[in-house]
């Protein structure tokens, strides 16, 4: 039953939605340049495979580099904010503020500052991901059981040992939650950067196809973006599974009961 609800049911729902979409287009005689049927989009995916693959690779690099940049700055900053409350009070408003400014507002500035190349898109993706990483890591560090911390202090553990052996493992589920959210929405930063100024990437391809009224190619690029986001989410879930083997053991024990 769990296999059905986890794997089979989502596929059935997707097929049902695509079937209704296909039927609606033919039933209401909607023009393909307004809303192409899924069958036409599938044909476009096949015919434009090389072009879609090339632009998908560019966008994927921007997403991964932006995610890596956000993690490399976000996790250390979260640890510093937790260990030094003064830093949290100083930086927390700016972390929140980074998400209150619409990304469209700063995208043109990043292109002016860093050019039309990949750098501006990577920074844009990192800005999108940064908030999820910092907020979840900080929340995870604060969720540590105080009794466990006191026990380690009684055993004369250093501050670093408590952080590494108690607080960080406790925060791992929160960190991976932020990472899964961040890796999924990194597409937003990359594509917006490509819309503002780029010569490659799925965002660029969408604008090009839209200017040529090739709506099926626009939808094909959207499908590729969705596939990238879902694939990276699945990869992060797999990493989470192997990074925290104790959770698998707990789940197995619970299921046996």
pLDDT of 253 higher than 70: no
Q: What pLDDT, in 10s, does the model give residues 12-21?
A: 888 899 999 9
40, 32 contact by CB (below 8 A):
yes
pLDDT of 6 higher than 80: no
pLDDT of 252 higher than 80: no
217, 48 contact by CB (below 8 A):
yes
Euclidean distance between CA atoms 108 and 191, whole angstroms:
13
Rg over CA atoms, the chain: 22
- Regarding pTM above 0.85, the answer is yes
Q: What pLDDT, in 10s, does the model give residues 22-78?
A: 999 988 888 888 899 999 999 999 999 999 999 999 999 999 999 999 999 999 999
- Average pLDDT in the 146-165 region? 88
Euclidean distance between CA atoms 222 and 45, whole angstroms:
11
Closest by CA position to 139, among listed 172, 182, 164: 172
Lowest mean pLDDT among 1-15, 31-45, 72-86, 152-166: 1-15
């Amino acid at each position: 039953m769990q296999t059905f609800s986890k794997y089979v049911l989502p596929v059935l729902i997707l097929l049902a939605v695509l079937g209704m979409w296909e039927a609606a287009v033919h039933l209401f005689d909607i023009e393909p340049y307004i809303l192409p049927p899924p069958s036409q989009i599938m044909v476009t995916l096949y015919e434009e495979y090389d072009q879609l693959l090339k632009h998908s690779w560019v966008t994927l690099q921007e997403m991964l580099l932006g995610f890596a940049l956000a993690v490399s700055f976000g996790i250390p900053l979260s640890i510093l904010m937790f260990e030094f409350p003064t830093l949290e009070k100083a930086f927390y408003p700016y972390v929140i503020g980074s998400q209150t400014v619409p990304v469209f507002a700063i995208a043109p500035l990043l292109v002016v500052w860093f050019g039309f190349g990949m750098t501006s898109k990577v920074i844009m993706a990192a800005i999108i991901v940064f908030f999820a990483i910092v907020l979840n890591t900080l929340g995870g560090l604060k969720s540590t059981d105080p009794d466990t911390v006191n026990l380690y202090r009684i055993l004369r553990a250093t501050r670093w040992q408590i952080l590494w052996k108690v607080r960080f493992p406790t925060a791992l589920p929160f960190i991976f939650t932020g990472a899964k959210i961040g890796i999924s929405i990194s597409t937003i930063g990359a594509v917006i950067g490509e819309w503002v100024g780029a010569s490659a990437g799925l965002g660029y391809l969408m604008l090009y196809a839209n200017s040529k009224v090739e709506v099926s190619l626009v939808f094909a690029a959207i499908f590729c973006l969705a596939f990238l986001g879902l694939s990276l989410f699945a990869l992060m879930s797999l990493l989470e599974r192997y990074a925290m083997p104790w959770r698998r053991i707990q789940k197995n024990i619970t299921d046996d009961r």
